[in-house]
Amino acid sequence: MTRSPRLLLALAAVAVAFAAADTYVVVLALPDMMGSVRIPIDQLQRAAPIVSGFLLGYVAMLPLIGRIADLRGRVPVLVVALAVFALGSLVTTLAYDMPSLVTGRFLQGVGGGGLVPATLALVADLYPAERRGVPLGVVSAVQELGSVIGPLFGALVLAVADWRAIFLVNLAVGLVLAAAIKAMAGLPEVEEVAQQPSRNPGGFDYPGLLLALIVLVTGALVFVEPSQLMRDLTWGQLFIPVVGDGRWLTPLGIAAIGALLLLVVRCATARRPLFDVVDWVRTMREADILGALLLALALAGVILAFATADPKVQVFSDQGLWYLLGSALATIAFVLHLRRSAAPLVPRGALRRTPAWGSMLVSFFVGAALIAALIDIPLFARTTVYASSQLMAALVLMRFLVALPVGAVVGGFLTRTLPAGVVTAIGMFLAAAGFLLMARWGVDSLDDVSATLPLLLGGFGFGLALAPVNAAVLASTDDDVHGLASAFVVVARMVGMLVGISALTTIGLRRYYAEQADLPTAREVCEGRTRCTEFTNLLKVAGIAQEHTVFTGAAVCAAIAGVLALVLFRTAATRSVSTGDLLRSSG
């Protein structure tokens, strides 16, 4: 293989890592983001759309993006996904209210999520089935590395600047990576293995670029509303609404909207447009946009039902039943559409092989177990030894996270010689063992160096399972649906995380309330400020019991994933040398 395709894959992997980091960075920035859109810190539930908006964009649009990557090529999708991610970062940076902030996060989710299936499919384009384990492990490793980099990056930026600087960095990095990948698109060796030839080669669309710049500048001014311009007697008139009220009814807002409409017309009619709208609309039709929208509605119902719930009292939100009902109806409509459509989103028989759909089932339980580690390890630390330090609690989780990318690379190597099901099962059984050890932690366990063992064991186990799951689905599907299949594996994992955290947290809290049932009230114990410390310690014990229940439930989910992998991945041809050949060669 020539150097250029490897460099292309490296750039795509860096993009995946950076987008993954953005998933976690918002956790630290969320309080400041809430303040910027005038949401009090004690009304955290009102900030849920900031998180769920990103999840909707990330998950609901993945199947469509994966299918487009199969039809149009990996490189165009990578470039457009990075452009959308950069646009979302810009909108988030300039956001002045909740709708604009959620819109920006949604676009970031669409762009960031779209990078994953295109990159995984690119690995399948560049490597034969028996050699995909290591590159898939590397891609999985850099993706999980984002969970380590994200919080550190966010903490570093917030220490010296406003939260908006985080998304300005995202904007710059997204544009640089998009330009670098776009520059490689014309190389013959890249075009041959990673994308379809450009359908509109030729000169540059300078009028389109001018209109885009006008939209960018006027739109940014509408978002920011610079005080110096607004106070000026002449320029300030541009910010006064022509009719009614609202920023977009001002002369500047109308100019931005008008320039955007002209840009769309230009892109739809020009011979060599800045962005080929007609061609991309044609591709979306070929990818089955109707089927993608029905599936997006089905996924959105599940996401909203669980993401908007208060796990202290419910598995899903008060409106969750309606969300799930809507999801069920959309799923029925999607299945009927697949049967009737001549060119459905999921081609007939595309996921017929057992390891193909089995990868999604395994990925679901992997996600359900993984989210317990990401959420409840820091919670356990805050409940016990680091009650007053969020940073120290996060550093406890870091011990788990640093082992993840190491396990991912090792899992890639093992997949070359061992069955994918065996490697996945080993990883998930190690993760289950790590959780069972965590379920034995006491009040002071994190002060002991031995607490690091289950953290490293669990992180390494999860990492070990990532590459073989992706290898199994790619080896069991045809080349023309690799993007779609990879997208479904990611969707299954994200849905598993949502369902897992709601179900496990609710079960854990029931244990917490059961432990509290026999305790006297705080007023009874702390009357006159006596024995309050004892009562606090009793509450701490109840909190530990809650986390133990969650860890045990996560161990069960991990074990289920391991067993399913052993059963469902048996026919996945992912190895370069079979076990039988290895035994015969050893005498």
The CATH architecture that domain 1-197 belongs to is: Up-down Bundle (1.20)
What average pLDDT score do residues 60-81 get?
A: 87
Percentage of the chain beyond pLDDT 70 is: 85
**CA dihedral sign, ordered 18, 260, 96, 300:** negative
Quick one: average pLDDT of 561-576? 88
Q: CB-based contacts of 68: which residues, under 8 Å, 6+ apart?
A: 77, 283, 284, 287, 483
Q: Tell me what pLDDT residue 83 has.
A: 92
149-199 residue pLDDT tens: 777 777 788 778 888 888 898 899 999 999 888 887 666 555 555 555 444
Closest CA to 191 of 4, 3, 1: 4
Q: How far apart are CA 337 and CA 334, in angstroms?
A: 5
Domain ranges for the chain: 1-197, 206-269, 355-516+533-581
Distance CA(543)–CA(383), nearest Å, equals 7
- Asked whether 93 and 167 are in contact (CB, 8 A), the reply is yes
What are the C-alpha distances in Å from 231 to residues 235, 240, 246, 249? 8, 11, 18, 18
Answer yes or no: are the C-beta atoms of 351 and 485 closer than 8 Å. yes
Instruction: Give the tokens for residue 361.
Output: 């089932």
pLDDT of 44: 60
Instruction: Point out which residues pair with 73 in neighbouring strands.
Output: 195
Higher pLDDT among residues 193 and 58, named by residue = 58
Q: At 417, give phi and psi (nearest 5°).
A: -125, -20
Q: Map tokens 């450009």 to a residue.
A: 198
Instruction: Give percent above pLDDT 90 in the chain.
Output: 28
Within 10 angstroms of residue 587's Cβ, the number of other Cβ atoms is: 4
Task: Report residue 62's pLDDT band, with 50, 70 and 90 as the boundaries.
Answer: confident
Q: How much is the pLDDT for 317? A: 66
CB 53 within 8 A of CB 307: no
Structure-model confidence comparison of residues 514 and 81, the more confident one: 81
Residue with tokens 């719930």: 309
- CA distance from start to end of the chain: 34
How many angstroms separate the Cα of 100 from the Cα of each of 38, 39, 112, 480?
13, 14, 18, 37
pLDDT digits (tens, 9 = 90+) for 217-228: 999 899 888 888
Give the CA diameter of the chain. Answer: 91
Mean residue pLDDT of the chain comes to 82
**Which amino acid, residue 517?**
A
pLDDT digits (tens, 9 = 90+) for 344-391: 999 988 889 999 999 999 999 999 999 888 888 888 887 787 777 766
Residue 185, φ and ψ in degrees, nearest 5: -65, -30
Superfamily of structural domain 355-516+533-581? MFS general substrate transporter like domains (1.20.1250.20)
pLDDT at 2: 52
pLDDT category of residue 131 using cuts at 50, 70 and 90 = confident
Integer Cα distance of 240 and 245 in angstroms: 9
Q: Evaluate whether 1-197 and 355-516+533-581 have a shared fold.
A: yes
